[in-house]
Amino acid sequence: MEQDITLKKEGQSTAFIKSLLAKVTPKIQKGDIFNSLKKAGITIVSILLFLGLWHLGSKALYNKEASYKIEKALTERGQEAADAERACIESGESSCQPNTLPSPSQVWGSLQSLIADHKVITADKAAFAEKMATTNAKLVAQGKDAIIYTGRASFVDIVLTSIKTVFAGFLLALLIAVPIGIVIGLSPSLRSAFNWFIQIFKPVSPVVWYLLVFMIVKTLYIGDSSDNAFVISFISVGLCAMWATLVNTAMGVASVDKDYINVAKVLKLGTFQKVFKVILPSSLPLIFTGLRITLSVAWMVLIAIELLAQSQGLGLFVWEEFQNGANDSNAKIIVAMFVIGIIGFLLDRLMLTVQNMVSFNKND
């Protein structure tokens, strides 16, 4: 009998290791490879198709604007000017290029130049830090503030600022919305007390939130010369994006299965235990759905808010490039557009992974 038990135990542990291995190493079968190749192939073809259409479209727009320019030169300044204009456009000189939707290759070029620019700025920073090292050490020793690099921000810095803003805003939304959501989910009277508030403020636009936060933060920072653009933008982002989490948390907490509540009552769990051991775990999937929506809303409103708040992020970058109107500005805007899209996609994937980790409804 004893032997039997140990055997069983061994069987159990090897089974456990086996199941662990099965989870770590993905099962590869012939059909799987074919399927994933097919999927990847379809994706690649659709990307190429997209690039091709984009290329053709931008070329058509380019030609339209170029012929208009030549036509205009012809009617306003005569044949000679028109020829000169044509020659100028064909030579590829930047001063007379049509300023329209950039082609994929131009956007690629802009990305390269932004990266190169980032390398230059990083080198600048390092050189500056080295130069100032001794001076700064002295300043710090005297108890004064060190001199910091205040040059132009590189594209990578800008992206990082945006990500930082989104996460700060997301964290703020989480800290406000989840506790309030739990409290109003637990109490029907508080729920009706808060209901008008949620219904009225939920649809308010990001721009108005920004203005509201600006009014308050401006006064709080009065007499302080430090840059409050980051504070304003992350608070606005948080306030804009928190509603989905608030509503979902309240709903999740309010709609806990009555059976679980009965179990909590029969086991005589205390209020604290009941909330943390029964109500919260059972509403976690809904809370995380809310958080996922919050993060994607935060990333979406970020651009508009950074633009308004003059915070050194992607929103401001896009706006400044648009105002700038330089030859490669449009291409840079498209680069920013792709970066925004890709980061948004990655953030959503991240949340989805976390959501799947905490959810007990999964089938495996």
Positions touching other proteins (CB under 8 A) are 8, 12, 259-260, 262-263, 265-269, 273, 277-278, 281-282, 284, 360-361, 363
Q: Which tokens go with 256?
A: 């806990």
The distance of closest approach from Cβ of residue 192 to other proteins in the complex, given in angstroms and rounded to an integer, is 20
The distance of closest approach from Cβ of residue 57 to other proteins in the complex, given in angstroms and rounded to an integer, is 51
Q: Which is nearer to other proteins, 256 or 339 (CB)?
A: 256
Q: Which is nearer to other proteins, 205 or 262 (CB)?
A: 262
Q: Which is nearer to other proteins, 96 or 278 (CB)?
A: 278
Residue 276, C-beta contacts closer than 8 angstroms, at least 6 positions apart:
none
The distance of closest approach from Cβ of residue 193 to other proteins in the complex, given in angstroms and rounded to an integer, is 25
The angle at the Cα of 275, spanning 272 to 276, to the nearest 5 degrees, equals 85
The distance of closest approach from Cβ of residue 20 to other proteins in the complex, given in angstroms and rounded to an integer, is 13
Q: Which is nearer to other proteins, 191 or 277 (CB)?
A: 277
For residue 26, give the DSSP letter.
P
Instruction: Give the Cα separation of 246 and 164 in Å (integer).
Output: 22
Residue 131, C-beta contacts closer than 8 angstroms, at least 6 positions apart:
none
* DSSP letters spanning 186-210: H-HHHHHHHHHHHHHHTT--HHHHH
CA 244 to chain centre: 16
Residues 208 and 308: beta-carbon distance below 8 Å: no
The distance of closest approach from Cβ of residue 289 to other proteins in the complex, given in angstroms and rounded to an integer, is 16
Q: Which is nearer to other proteins, 281 or 341 (CB)?
A: 281
The distance of closest approach from Cβ of residue 23 to other proteins in the complex, given in angstroms and rounded to an integer, is 14
SS3 readout for 217-256: HHHHCCCCCCCCHHHHHHHHHHHHHHHHHHHHHHHHHHCC
Q: Which is nearer to other proteins, 253 or 298 (CB)?
A: 253
Render the burial of 67-104: b for 16+ CB within 10 Å, e for the rest: eebbeebbeeeeeeebeebbebbeeeeeebbeebbbbe
CA distances 205 to 2, 188, 212, 289, Å, are 70, 28, 11, 22
The distance of closest approach from Cβ of residue 7 to other proteins in the complex, given in angstroms and rounded to an integer, is 13
Q: Which is nearer to other proteins, 249 or 296 (CB)?
A: 249
Instruction: Give the Cα separation of 356 and 358 in Å (integer).
Output: 6
Instruction: Give the Cα separation of 141 and 133 in Å (integer).
Output: 12
Q: Which is nearer to other proteins, 37 or 267 (CB)?
A: 267
The distance of closest approach from Cβ of residue 34 to other proteins in the complex, given in angstroms and rounded to an integer, is 31
